[in-house]
Amino acid sequence: MDFINELLHDQNKVSRNLKKLFWIIGTCLFLVGFYGWIVRINDGHIKANYGSIVTWGLWVAAYIYFIGLSAGSFLVSSMVYVFNYKKFERIGKLAVFTALVTLLMALLSIWADLGHMGRAWHVMVYPNFKSPMAWMIYLYSTYMLLLIVEIYFLLRYDLVTSANNKTLKGKIYKLLSLGSKDTSEKSRVRDKKIVKVLATAGVPIAILFHGGVGALFGVVAARPHWHSGLFPILFLLSALVSGGALLTLISSVFQEGWTKNREIVVELGKMVLGLLLLDILFQISEFLIVYRGGIPGHVAGWDLVIKGPYAWVFWGWQGFVGTLIPLFLLTFKTRKSPQWVALAGFLIAAGIFGLRLNIVIPGLAVEEIHGLTSAIYSHRVDPHYFPSISEWMLTFGIVGFGMLLFGLGEFFLPKSYEANSHLSSEVKI
Amino acid sequence: MARYAMVIDTTKCVGCMDCVVACKTENNVPEGFNRDWITYETIGKFPTLHMEIRSERCNHCDNPPCVYTCPTGASHISDIGGIVLVDYQKCIGCKACIAACPYDARFVHPDGYVSKCTFCEHRIVQGLDPACVASCPTHCMYFGDLEDPNSEVKKLLNSRKYRVLNPETGTKPQIYYLI
C-alpha cells in the first residue's frame, strides 16, 4: 500500500504518464486491427471461428458491450442535462462524447459481423417491423443523430468564441461551428434549452434501444439461456454499470480526477457501487430461478457458464476481477480515494465484457436437438468456440480506433467543462 | 392454397445418408455446410430400447421465428405452399435467424448470405419431389400437400402416430416423423 501511495505521490505526473500510455496503447491496438480488417475483407467469415452452431461470437459480444457503454454513459450525462445534477456537471460533455465514440465502436463491431457488409442499408429500405433487431437499428440510428446534434449545441458557443483563421484549432472550430457566429446570451440560453430537450428525448430512446438489444436476445424462444423477461432490464443495468465505471476512469485520466476533481470520481464510485449491487441482485435472481426451476435447456446454458470449459470467464474475470475486487474497493476505506475508485471502475468495465461473452456464447453453444452437433463432421458445426486471431485483432483494432478518436476529440474539442458556467445562474430553463 | 409438408417414417430409415448426398449435389451446397443431415437418438432404457434415426432439415414452420426476427424481410414465407425461403439478394447476413431457429437448420454461405433447405423449390414447381425424397432408397420420406385430403402425406398423418421436433418452441413445424 505504501509503495503504491509513493508511486502515485505526484498525481499530475502520474496522470500525464497515463495519458501517454493511453496514446501508445491506442495506437498499437489501432495498427493491430488492420490485420483483422484485411482478413475480414479478403476472406469473409472463413478465418473466423464462429460457425453454424455458435453463430455469434466475439464481435457480437463486443457490439453489445460497446453499445452498452454508450447507453450507460449517455444516461449518466442525462443526470446533468435532464435532472440538473450539479455534482456531475463537469463530466457531462465528456459523457456525451464517450457515448458517441463507443456507439461508433459498437457499429464497427457489428458491421464486421454482417455476412454482407455492403448491404447494411437494406434494413432501412426493406423494413420488417416485426423484427426486434430492425427496431433496435432504427432506434440507435435516431440516437446517433440525436447525439451529434446534442454535441453540436453543447459545444457551439465554445466553438464560435474560439474560431479563427490563424491556428489549426481555430480553423477546425470554425468548420465545426457550421457558420454560426452568434455569441449572445440569448443564443446560449437557446442552446441550453435545445440540449435539455434533446437530452430528455434521448433518455427514453437510449432505454428503448438498449432494452431492444436485450429484447432481441430475450425473444428467441429457441435459446432458453436468453429467453427471460429479465434480459432487457439486465442489459440496461449492465450498461449503466459499465458506462458509469468507464467514466470514473476517463475523468481520472482526462479531467484531473485525482487532484482537482476528486469529488466527482468518488461520487461516480458511489453511483457505480449502487448500480453494481443491483446488477448482481438481478443476476443472482436469474441464476437461482434457473437452477431451482430446472428446465433442461435453461440449466444447460448456465452449466456451461459456471462449469464449462470457459468457467474461468465467469468465476475469474467477471466474478473475481470484475465484481469482487471492485466491490471491496468501493465499500471499504479505498472508496474515498479517487485512484482506487478509478481502478475499481476499470475492473468493472473490463468485467462486464466477461458478462457479455457469457450471454452470447453459452446461449448458442447449447445443443438444440440431441445429436445435432455430431451429425456433421465440420469445424463449422462445433459448439466449442474460441475467437480466432483475426477476430481478436479486429476487436483490438476497434478498441484502438475508439481510444484514438476519443483522444483526438478530447485534445481538439473545447474544454470548458463547467457547462455554461459563465451563464448567469438566474436563467431558468 | 397448398401447404407443403414432409413426412418421414423413422421406422423405415436406415441412416444411409443418401438424402444428404442428394441435397449437396442438387443444391451445390459448399463444403463444410449442410442443408440436411442425419441424427441418431437412443430412446428408452436397457433392455427395452431402440434407436431412432432421423433425416433433419428446415421444418418450414407455420410460425417461423426466423421470419419474424429477420430485420430486412429476406427470410419470408413463400407463396409456393407456405414454405420458408431466404431472398439471397436482400439478406445482410446478420445471423439473427440462425440464432432464432430451434432446429439449427440455417448457415451462413461463404458468400455471406444465409442459406438453408428450400424443399427444392425449383423441383417442386415442376411437380417433382425434393431431391432427398426422390433419392431415398427405403422410401421412408414423403412429400406433399397437407391441404389435399387425398395426398399421401395427409393419409399417413391420419393413420399413423407421429411427432414433430421441439414443439415447445411454438413454431408449428411441417416435418412430421412417423414413430
Report the residue of A52, A137, A209, A382 to disrupt the B interface, i.e. the one with the largest count of B CBs within 10 Å: A52
ipTM: 0.88
Min Cα distance A388 → chain B (Å) is 17
Quote the cell numbers at residue A297.
435447456
CA A58 → CA A287, A309, A396, B48, B51, distances in Å? 23, 16, 11, 45, 38
Contact A380 B107 (CB under 8 A): yes
**What are the backbone angles phi and psi of residue B56, rounded to the nearest 5°?**
-115, 155
When CB atoms are compared, the residue of A119, A221, A364 closest to B169 is A221
Q: How far apart are CA A146 and CA A74, in angstroms?
A: 11
User: Per-residue pLDDT for A423 more than 60?
Assistant: no
Min Cα distance B165 → chain A (Å) is 8
Taking the Cβ of residue B122 and every Cβ of chain A, the question of whether any pair is shorter than 8 Å is answered with: no
Averaged pLDDT for residues B117-145: 93
Q: Which residue has the cell 446570451?
A: A185
Beta bridge partners, B108, equal B114
**Any idea which architecture A56-130+208-371 has in CATH?**
Up-down Bundle (1.20)
Beta bridge partners, B107, equal B115
CB-CB neighbors (< 8 A) of A137 in chain B: 71
When CB atoms are compared, the residue of A51, A52, A123 closest to B92 is A123
Q: Could you give the percent of chain B with pLDDT greater than 90?
A: 79
CB-CB neighbors (< 8 A) of A360 in chain B: none
Q: Could you give the percent of chain A with pLDDT greater than 70?
A: 94
Q: What's the whole-model pTM score? A: 0.91
For B60-80, letters b (16+ CB in 10 Å) and e give: bbeebbbbbbbbbbbbbbeee
Quote the cell numbers at residue A247.
467514466
Asked whether the beta carbons of B9 and B179 are under 8 A apart, the reply is: no
Closest of B138, B140, B173 to residue B156, by C-alpha: B140
DSSP letter at A420 equals T
Contact A53 B34 (CB under 8 A): no
Three-state SS sequence of chain B:
CCCEEEEEECCCCCCCCHHHHHHHHHHCCCCCCCCCEEEEEEEEECCEEEEEEEEECCCCCCCCHHHHHCCCCCEEECCCCCCEEECCCCCCCCCHHHHHCCCCCCEECCCCCEECCCCCHHHHCCCCCCHHHHHCCCCCEEEEECCCCCCHHHHHHHHCCEECCCHHHCCCCCEEEEC
Report the residue of B108, B114, B168 to disrupt the A interface, i.e. the one with the largest count of A CBs within 10 Å: B108
Min Cα distance B44 → chain A (Å) is 14
Q: Rounded to the nearest 5 degrees, what angle is found at the Cα of A91, between the Cα atoms of A90 and A92?
A: 95
The residue ranges of every structural domain in chain A are 17-49+386-414, 56-130+208-371
**What are the backbone angles phi and psi of residue A271, rounded to the nearest 5°?**
-65, -45
Quote the pLDDT of residue A5. 63
Task: Name residue B159's amino acid.
Answer: S
The residue ranges of every structural domain in chain B are 4-178
Q: How far apart are CA A57 and CA A55, in angstroms?
A: 6
**In chain A, whose CA is at the least distance from the CA of B105?**
A52
**In chain B, whose CA is at the least distance from the CA of A362?**
B99
Asked whether the beta carbons of B144 and B157 are under 8 A apart, the reply is: no
Q: How far apart are CA A352 and CA A318, in angstroms?
A: 6
CA A397 → CA A29, A31, A400, A402, distances in Å? 5, 7, 5, 9
Contacts of B171 (CB under 8 A, 6+ apart): B59, B61, B62, B63, B64, B65, B102
Q: How far apart are CA A341 and CA A327, in angstroms?
A: 10
CB-CB neighbors (< 8 A) of B32 in chain A: 378-380
Quote the cell numbers at residue B61.
414452420
Taking the Cβ of residue B102 and every Cβ of chain A, the question of whether any pair is shorter than 8 Å is answered with: yes
CA A236 → CA A71, A173, A268, A279, A282, distances in Å? 8, 35, 17, 9, 11
Asked whether the beta carbons of B130 and B145 are under 8 A apart, the reply is: no
Asked whether the beta carbons of A271 and A213 are under 8 A apart, the reply is: no
Q: How far apart are CA A360 and CA A63, in angstroms?
A: 11
Query: Where is average pLDDT lowest: A44-48, A179-183, B112-116?
Result: A179-183
pLDDT, tens only, A154-170: 888 888 887 777 777 78
Burial class (CB in 10 A: 0-12, 13-18, 19+), A87: middle
pLDDT-derived band at B163, boundaries 50, 70, 90: very high
Q: How far apart are CA A140 and CA B89, in angstroms?
A: 25
Taking the Cβ of residue B30 and every Cβ of chain A, the question of whether any pair is shorter than 8 Å is answered with: no
| Most confident of the following: A163-167, A173-177, A280-284, A295-299 | A280-284
Q: How far apart are CA B148 and CA B160, in angstroms?
A: 17
Q: How far apart are CA B173 and CA B177, in angstroms?
A: 11
CATH number for the domain running over B4-178: 3.30.70.20
When CB atoms are compared, the residue of B56, B103, B108 closest to A115 is B108
**In chain A, whose CA is at the least distance from the CA of B90?**
A122
Query: Where is average pLDDT lowest: A123-127, A369-373, B78-82?
Result: A369-373
When CB atoms are compared, the residue of A222, A363, A379 closest to B65 is A222
Contact A116 B56 (CB under 8 A): no
Task: Name residue A418's amino acid.
Answer: E
Asked whether the beta carbons of A187 and A177 are under 8 A apart, the reply is: no
Contacts of B146 (CB under 8 A, 6+ apart): B3, B4, B5, B153, B154, B157, B174
Q: Which residue has the cell 440462425?
A: B98
When CB atoms are compared, the residue of B40, B41, B112 closest to A115 is B112
pLDDT, tens only, A55-108: 999 999 999 999 999 999 999 999 888 888 888 888 888 899 999 999 999 999
Contacts of A399 (CB under 8 A, 6+ apart): A29, A105
Quote the pLDDT of residue A3. 58
Quote the pLDDT of residue A429. 47
**In chain A, whose CA is at the least distance from the CA of B35?**
A376
CB-CB neighbors (< 8 A) of A378 in chain B: 32-34
Please count the residue pairs, one from chain A and one from chain B, whose beta carbons lie less than 8 angstroms apart: 135
Contacts of A163 (CB under 8 A, 6+ apart): A170, A173, A174, A177
Q: How far apart are CA B78 and CA A275, in angstroms?
A: 47
DSSP letter at A334 equals G
Contact B104 A376 (CB under 8 A): no
CB-CB neighbors (< 8 A) of A131 in chain B: 68-71, 96
CA A303 → CA A179, A292, A319, distances in Å? 59, 13, 15
Beta bridge partners, B76, equal B85
Query: Does residue A316 or residue A158 have the better pLDDT?
Result: A316
User: Per-residue pLDDT for A1 more than 70?
Assistant: no
Quote the cell numbers at residue A64.
453489445
CB-CB neighbors (< 8 A) of A48 in chain B: none
How many residues appear in chain B? 179
Beta bridge partners, A270, equal none
Q: Are strands B75-77 and B107-108 parallel, antiparallel or unpaired?
A: unpaired
Min Cα distance B127 → chain A (Å) is 30
pLDDT-derived band at A416, boundaries 50, 70, 90: low
Q: Are strands B107-108 and B84-86 parallel, antiparallel or unpaired?
A: unpaired
Min Cα distance B88 → chain A (Å) is 10
Report the residue of A129, A140, A368, A377 to disrupt the B interface, i.e. the one with the largest count of B CBs within 10 Å: A368
Closest of B94, B69, B79, B61 to residue B167, by C-alpha: B61
CB-CB neighbors (< 8 A) of B104 in chain A: 52-53, 368-369, 372
pLDDT-derived band at A380, boundaries 50, 70, 90: confident
Q: Which residue has the cell 474475470?
A: A317
Three-state DSSP class for A279? helix
